[in-house]
Amino acid sequence: MRFVWLSVLLVCVHADCQWQFGNSCYQLLTGTMTFDKALQACSAMGAGLVVPNSQNENQFIWQMMKNHHPSIDEVWIGCTDKHTEDQWMYAADAGKECKFVSWATGEPNGQNLGEDCAQMWDSRAGQWVDIGCSAHASVFCEYYSSLEVTCRQADADGRFA
Residue 134 has pLDDT above 90, yes or no: yes
2 within a domain of the structure (yes/no): no
6 within a domain of the structure (yes/no): no
With b for 16 or more beta-carbon neighbours within 10 A and e for fewer, the 61-81 pattern comes to bbebbeeeeeebbbbbbbbbb
Q: Residue 23: pLDDT band by 50, 70, 90 thresholds?
A: confident
pTM of this prediction?
0.80
Radius of gyration for the chain, computed over Cα atoms and rounded to the nearest angstrom:
19
pLDDT in tens, 77-133: 999 999 888 899 999 887 899 999 999 999 998 766 789 999 999 999 999 999 999
159 within a domain of the structure (yes/no): no
Range of the domain at 99: 19-153
144 within a domain of the structure (yes/no): yes
Coil, helix or strand at residue 62: helix
Q: What total of structural domains would you count in the chain?
A: 1
5 within a domain of the structure (yes/no): no
1 within a domain of the structure (yes/no): no
What is the structure's pLDDT at 30? 84
Mean model confidence pLDDT for the chain: 83
